[in-house]
Structure 1
Amino acid sequence: MERIASFTVDHTVLEPGLYLSRRDGNVVTFDLRFKKPNTGDLLSNSQMHSVEHLIATLLRNSQSRDAVVYFGPMGCQTGFYFLFDGDKLTNSQAIALLQAVFARAAEYDGPMPGCSAAECGNYRNLSVEEGRACCARYRDLIASWTEEMLVYPAK
């Protein structure tokens, strides 16, 4: 059986940041790493869920919405994946989009998007405050990120 690409990244040296994970045809996957892997310092279920609702909503309401394929959490609870159409957004444009969306989420003061039993199967573990705080930390981390910084650290 072939090893999947994400298992080839050395998680013992991976730091929080923004990385180009893979490219499959025109679909580009960014790894949005919030926490250092293998430290036990994970995002809580509520933090992950809240960031997912805020960022997915803001991405799909951005001017680049037609390029957005998916935004969602990693199973290891250390970050998120953002998939986009590389024919519609360059890597630099995708970085700028994420910087803008995380800045907006860090200041978000409305009701949590999708926070009802009819809209979400686990709506009770959503928190605008937790989502906003996580987004503010990540906004600061990627504020000056560039395309040259998208590379995973060498093994």
Structure 2
Amino acid sequence: MKKIASFTVNHLDLLRGVYVSRKDVVAGEHVLTTFDIRMKRPNLEPVINNGELHAIEHLGATFLRNHKIWDEKTVYFGPMGCRTGVYVIFKGDLSPVDVIPILSEMFQFISSFEGEIPGATARDCGNYLDMNLPMAKFEAKKFLEEILLNIKEENMIYPK
């Protein structure tokens, strides 16, 4: 059986960063770009716990879906199964450089969020009690300050 693209990435040398995971052409002409937002070094750092990852998902998706420019470009935002980061899919043929500003804005929003997490109710979410806002803010601030605000080329190109 053929490996899917994300299983061919060299996770031994993968740094934290923002990577193009794949580009798909839909309806014959429209490009969707999937970004790998790698918040943790795979197999070297502790993964993000479910509560904070779930909170990041709710806050990030809400932020993007309410953004005046990126709302219509956002197709999906959600966690990686390995819990080392999140994926976002945007409409358009994009590069990491194109999305660093919106991702920085989003991670700033998450890191400073106060109040009730959007959608964190029994009616709106299938696991609403598993949220950890303080740790979501910590993880978002750490990624923003250590990676996004000083991003380098090696944090945007998959290792060989």
Q: CA deviation at 1:144?
A: 2.9
Q: 1-side partners of 2:60 and 2:132: how far apart?
A: 13
For the residue of structure 2 that corresponds to 1:122, the secondary structure is coil
- Residue-pair matches, total: 153
Contact 2:35 2:88 in 1 (8 A): yes
8 Å contact kept, 2:107–2:140: yes
Mapping 1:9-88, distance limit 5 Å:
9-25=9-25, 26-39=31-44, 41-63=46-68, 64-86=70-92
The amino acid of 2:92's aligned partner reads G
Q: 5+ unaligned residues in a row in structure 2: which ranges? A: 26-30
What TM-score do you get using the length of structure 2 for normalisation?
0.87
Q: CA deviation at 1:93?
A: 3.3
TM-score (norm 1): 0.90
The amino acid that maps onto 1:105 is: I
Q: Do the aligned partners of 1:57 and 1:113 also contact (CA within 8 Å) in 2?
A: yes
CA-atom RMSD in angstroms:
1.8
- 2-side partners of 1:56 and 1:147: how far apart? 26
Q: Percent identity?
A: 40
Indicate yes or no: 2:148 matched with 1:142.
yes
Structure 1 window deviating more from structure 2 (52-61 vs 127-136): it is: 127-136
Greater per-residue helix proportion: 1
| Matched position secondary structure for 1:36 | coil
Quote the offset at 1:146 in angstroms: 6.3
User: Equivalent residue of 1:22, what SS?
Assistant: strand
User: Whole-Å Cα distance in 2 between the matches of residues 102 and 75 of structure 1?
Assistant: 20
Aligned to 1:2: 2
